Structure 1
Amino acid sequence: MVQTSQPHRALELRTLPRERYAAYVRTRSTQDGSGEVGFLQCPSWADVKEGWRPEYLGWFDEAGSQEGAALVLFRQMPGVRRYFAYIPEGPVLDWATPEVGARLELLLDHLRDAGAFAVRMGPPLTYRRWSAATLKNAVGPGRRLGDVLPDVVDPLAAAVADRLREAGWRRCREDGQGGGDAQPRYVFEMPLGGRKLEDVWSGLNQEWRRNIKKATKADVESVVGDNSCLPAFYALLQQTEQRDGFRLGRSLEYFERQYQALNAEEPGRMRLYLACHEGEVLAAHTLITLGRRAWYLTGASAGHRREVRPSNALQWRMIRDAHARGVVTYDMRGVPDTLDPEVRAFGLMRWKLGTGGRVAETMGEWELPLQGAVNKTLHRAMHVYLTRR
């Protein structure tokens, strides 16, 4: 337990039992749909991540009221009793409070005492947003998101970034090399809050609406599967990786563990959706829901019969289900930062832009070596180790 004093307040950081931590995260997630509380800060995510030791922390004021939480994952450096500490898309804090610096100092003191040589975190704040209309008008050779004036800039995220730099934190690289972001920096969001379903439908572009109608006419059936359907999903994912030239590096056992852990914490937290046509599964997508936000996490599809548009049909079913559950924000996760139609990765951006949503640039992930030349050496060695894994 670590304490700090302020002119009028005393703050305390405590290690929490799993269930008390989970209750706080669950309560916070139902209060807001902006993404300040993500599923990566749930205890169940620690069960998914093999090789990482979890710890559940909470900040408390002098009256005993909880004012924040953090799931910290510790990875031991091979051969030594020192640890790399990771707080995925967290901590869960009021980042606007003047005391945020004091709260982070409490956290850093605790991590040093726990044997951490470095820490990485991903403050769940959005820095900039671009509407689909803005980006469609900006598409062109060599264009990137950073070339386009955003529709919204969040001054809080900019201020937090400045404070982190002043405190010695460094933003991880965007290229994924040498300790780059583990989570996507640019995500695609569909606002659902306050919109009728017919408004969401009319917000889709003509191509999306046409493709959904094609799927309906072809009798594509969108259903919710269970864990017995995971092998079919995984087989499609392997096809998708080979066809599209990427590799997630996840095993079937990983997705089985993910499905079991998330749904054990809350039934229906993770759903597997399947698009079937003439008895064959042509597409399979996973959806995670926490409070008032839902995340389309992993998608896979067959390379044939694409003319019946199973992925569009599946997304529309997932969007409708999220809307029915009171979801405020439907998060389609990562998009590339390219707006160049000649670049292959732009295809994913184009597909998501068709929903009429928006691209959000998060603050990204930030790292801090915890003092000393030895710790900095371990930090560099851990980056090499994690990259090779």
Structure 2
Amino acid sequence: MEFLDFTNLTAVQEYEAFVESHGGSFMQSVRWCGVKRNWFHEAIISRDGQGKIRASCLVLIKKFLPPFKSFLYSPRGPVWDYQDHGAFRDLLLGLEALSKKYHAYSCKLDPLVEESDQEKIYALRAAGLSFAPWQPDDSTIQCRNNYILELDGRTEEELLCSFKSKCRYNIRLAQRKGVTCRAYGKERLGDFQKLMEETRTRDGFQARSRGYFARMMDALGSHCRLYLCEYQGRPLSGAICVQYGRRTCYVYGASSNTGRELMPNYLMQWEMIRWAVKSGCEVYDFQGVPYWYDPEHPNYGVYRFKTGFNGRLAVYAGEFTQVFARHYKAAFDCALKCVGYQKLL
């Protein structure tokens, strides 16, 4: 077991190559540390007998004011072969070492493991991690319910034909009406932020700042794109999209209250899916669909919209916890929920 030297470019490149080639999330990339500047960060590495990386775990560390302890979090981590128990023991030893270094009371991990994959869940629990089989939508840091489109090597034409007829119609309607969708740099973040504020006011959710989106684009570089749909020079919708580890993720989206009849959101999703296909990705991830099972919930419309692309629901197992100071955990978890994980993150 070792810790990544972030100042060693060769070591960082080796780490990145491992995470990407093993389908790791962009939140397990070293680049993600540049976005989460209000956190400390470490990366644990396990090597095989030939010296090659066999497992990794990027860890974000939130320090609280003295004399309080810190909180460790591995977003969508770790990355490893679930049958390699020795590699995972190495990662757990690394977490133990970090808990001592940063006086952490616990660590949360939320790997990309679906709740139906009992073999992987068993491996994590057998290693000694705490796990609740059912975790409510609003109790986890990352959304447990995602909508994904498995690309399966299909061409753009094959994918378009696989969409529901109304979805195909709306994509073509936007094109016929003259709506355009293009990828831009940070120079258009002002337009995106205006759309985000409009969406926040309409739908009542917390919105990230323009500075946060700028950090994302700077840190993730060519992995991150800003898409904008426009009609006659007027922005109608926008999205921040990230491509990493053979997966393209629709991370943030916003839309105007006007021009909705022009169906810009359908065209925007289609253009981001086309980027995924051209880049050889295996999955296009529409990301969260919380409360997809409740037609009366305000978020249900998001789920209904995404189903038009004829993907599938991916329900992840949720969070696994390693506790280092049990008497602190209950109090801190309660405090974090009161503050809100999104404000923390």
- Residues 15, 339 of structure 1: CA spacing in aligned structure 2 closer, same or farther, 3 A cutoff? closer
State which of 160, 169, 177 in structure 1 corresponds to 2:130. Answer: 169
How far apart in 1 are the matches of 2:38 and 2:330? 22
What is the correspondence of 1:189-338 to structure 2 with a 5 Å cutoff?
189-248=148-207, 250-263=208-221, 268-338=222-292
**1:123 maps to what in 2?**
111
Segment of structure 1 superposing worse, 218-227 or 75-84: 75-84
**2:89 maps to what in 1?**
102
Gaps of 5+ in 2: none
* Helix, strand or coil at the partner of 2:33: helix
CA deviation string 1:327-357 (max 9, x = no partner) = 1111110012333433332111111111010
The AA in structure 2 aligned to 1:14 is F
What is the correspondence of 1:136-175 to structure 2 with a 5 Å cutoff?
153-163=116-126, 167-171=128-132, 173-175=135-137
The AA in structure 1 aligned to 2:131 is R
Moved over 4 A (4+): 374-389
- Residues 371, 26 of structure 1: CA spacing in aligned structure 2 closer, same or farther, 3 A cutoff? same
Question: How far 1:255 sits from its partner (Å)?
Answer: 0.8
The AA in structure 2 aligned to 1:23 is Q
Question: How far 1:113 sits from its partner (Å)?
Answer: 2.4
**1:79 maps to what in 2?**
66
The 8 Å contact of residues 4 and 11 in structure 2, kept in 1 or not, is answered as no
How far apart in 1 are the matches of 2:181 and 2:328? 54
- Residues 105, 318 of structure 1: CA spacing in aligned structure 2 closer, same or farther, 3 A cutoff? closer
The 8 Å contact of residues 189 and 359 in structure 1, kept in 2 or not, is answered as yes
Does residue 358 of structure 1 match 2:317? no
- Residues 382, 78 of structure 1: CA spacing in aligned structure 2 closer, same or farther, 3 A cutoff? farther
Task: Count the aligned residue pairs.
Answer: 340
How far apart in 2 are the matches of 1:162 and 1:116? 21
How far apart in 2 are the matches of 1:175 and 1:259? 28
**2:2 maps to what in 1?**
13
Given the two structures, how large is their TM-score scaled by the length of structure 1? Answer: 0.81
Question: How far 1:379 sits from its partner (Å)?
Answer: 5.4
Backbone CA RMSD of aligned residues:
2.3
Question: How far 1:170 sits from its partner (Å)?
Answer: 3.4
How far apart in 2 are the matches of 1:102 and 1:161? 10
Gaps of 5+ in 1: 1-11, 128-152
Identity %, equivalent residues:
28
Question: How far 1:81 sits from its partner (Å)?
Answer: 6.3
Does residue 343 of structure 1 match 2:297? yes
The 8 Å contact of residues 21 and 57 in structure 1, kept in 2 or not, is answered as no
- Residues 381, 349 of structure 1: CA spacing in aligned structure 2 closer, same or farther, 3 A cutoff? closer
- Residues 156, 276 of structure 1: CA spacing in aligned structure 2 closer, same or farther, 3 A cutoff? same
